[in-house]
Structure 1
């Protein structure tokens, strides 16, 4: 079968991007063809042996003064090219757009966030109207787009706004690559992390990883960092790694007089090793369908402090692998929990070891539910039904 994948941008450290490429690779390895259309590609091009199917990447730069205008131009270009040059069985989108057979719902409901996290003036902007229309095209009960859900709790949110039929949602169990479960000696990884950032061996470290620092709650983390007692901050560092502009957060840290406690780094390929060397993982995101990095931290044997607005935070609670800041979010609660986590690290409290072991066991159980082929299997099933309906 022939598949077309559409994604605005590819970079190797994004969770959605890794899901997309893994699914394309699984399809190609099974003998199918995948054409990926994107505005930009950062990283190595996919390689699939000649004995298998193929993956082709088509980079299509877009024009526009604003990002949503660029997205609109890209969608127009990609869909026109697919219609004229490609005979595909299934069109899969990893971002909101019309004309899709399948939408991979990595992002939470846009209109829900626009009404709960923004003021009414935002809902008068062209950007709001564009994103709302693209989401409505996907989820409208008059539509036929099938939706791959990584968090079924978000299904109720979409249905509250759009009344989408139940049978159009398909659940994907969490996936963790084997690389994330390759544990190394903890002492060696602690030294590795500290050497990577030229820090003294006794430094206590909380790690935050993710593209889009604002949505990951780095501002919340900086405010919580500033709330720590001065003596507790002396040998403590918050290291944030990801694809985003660091300047606003550096300015914030300077204003709050904790610039010396914050390190911001671009995305890098050794995240599994760095994670295993951290004292705990901090993820105070505003809202995420999943937050795969939470499971990756658990699989690395690292206690987690996350917000309940992340879909996968429920796994921290199920496993008893750390702490979860409840909803509605209060900065004071995060501040208190961060201080408690740092105190436990200083005291080498037995709870940390318990959380590590619980998280590891839970992550291993999750691995048995999805070997990485669930998305490809669902897409093949949908493509087959589409062919049957066309006969």
Structure 2
């Protein structure tokens, strides 16, 4: 089959972009002719994948996305692939990978620029609402149900994927051993270590975690993925320089997670939360907000705690105390979940490939 994937900015290398690359590689490994369309100009040769760059047209973000959708549609009409899998809202795509929450359900700011909202909602309606026939890959059942409530589409169009975890995470999990992280960061042996992996620290609730640290003088927090000035200011303002350690997003992120006693992830919004799955794969319990799509994985496994919505800072403070008290039992549950997750390696990629290959069934 000739399969075309479309993603606006591949070089952002966030979760959606990493998922796109993994899917493209998996489809290519199954013998399909795969092309990735993107506006990124500096990813022309990633391994053996065919990456084709489209010109980004426009200044405002919503104009860029709308023009990208038009260019992808034009390319599809000219090249006639067997299947088009979109990672952005592209009308008439055969498949759409739903990486975000529904824009129509978002609490838009009162002063949000009307043309931006109209354009985003128009693209979203064109993918989800009738008479669209695009088949949809959702990360969680909750995410699927929210979109069905918003757009009342035929449930048969939707597939909920197994937990999305990448092969490199599985490989790293099997090699975990003694970690260098605590000694290199200067974390005392009698201290507790929590970890947050957050490219966008505000969205992932790192400020909430910083505020809670005042109640736990022996708790250290390692924040990986962001060097934001906002984050540094928050640490200094709360006089936490000795207990908050800011590191870049490292290749050994699984080793860093495994070195922690638990993960802190009180996110404000999270369609899924792959870092939750990565922590469980590393055998580390998680304290997360119910806003995270994978929060149900924590509840089902017993490997951590989920904070109810709407979020309350007092609940986070109390949740940390409960985590600390129950750490031995929770780490045991996390280890059991890690073992079961090993049996699911590649399941999400297989589900996507089989759905595309059976598109006429």
After TM superposition, is the score higher than 0.5?
yes
Closer, same or farther in 2 for the Cα pair 1:96/1:338, shift >3 Å?
farther
Q: Distance in 1 between matches of 2:290 and 2:36?
A: 34
What runs of 5+ residues in structure 1 fail to find an aligned partner? Answer: 49-54, 386-391
Q: Pairwise CA RMSD of aligned residues?
A: 2.5
**1:131 Cα deviation (Å)?**
1.6
1:94-123 per-residue CA deviation (whole Å, 9 max, x = no partner) reads: 122323111101212222123xxx44433x
Q: Distance in 2 between matches of 1:69 and 1:139?
A: 20
**1:127 Cα deviation (Å)?**
2.2
Higher relative contact order (CA 8 A, sep 6+): 1
SS in 1 for 2:221: strand
What residue number does 2:73 align with? 79
2:244 pairs with 1:262: yes
2:335 pairs with 1:353: no
2:191 pairs with 1:184: no
SS in 1 for 2:8: strand
**1:367 Cα deviation (Å)?**
4.2
How many residue pairs end up in the alignment? 356
**1:354 Cα deviation (Å)?**
2.0
SS in 1 for 2:207: helix
SS in 1 for 2:269: coil
What runs of 5+ residues in structure 2 fail to find an aligned partner? Answer: none
Of the three residues 122, 128, 137, the one matched with 1:133 is 122
What residue number does 1:51 align with? none
Contact 1:180 1:272 in 2 (8 A): yes
Closer, same or farther in 2 for the Cα pair 1:44/1:354, shift >3 Å?
farther
SS in 2 for 1:222: helix
Of the three residues 163, 173, 176, the one matched with 2:162 is 173
Q: Distance in 1 between matches of 2:34 and 2:152?
A: 32
What residue number does 2:357 align with? 380
Of the three residues 87, 94, 101, the one matched with 1:94 is 87
Contact 2:66 2:123 in 1 (8 A): no
**1:196 Cα deviation (Å)?**
4.8
Using structure 1 for the length normalisation, give the TM-score: 0.82
1:174-219 per-residue CA deviation (whole Å, 9 max, x = no partner) reads: 143322531522xx21xx1134545555553211113332322222
What residue number does 1:151 align with? 140
What residue number does 2:35 align with? 35
Using structure 2 for the length normalisation, give the TM-score: 0.89
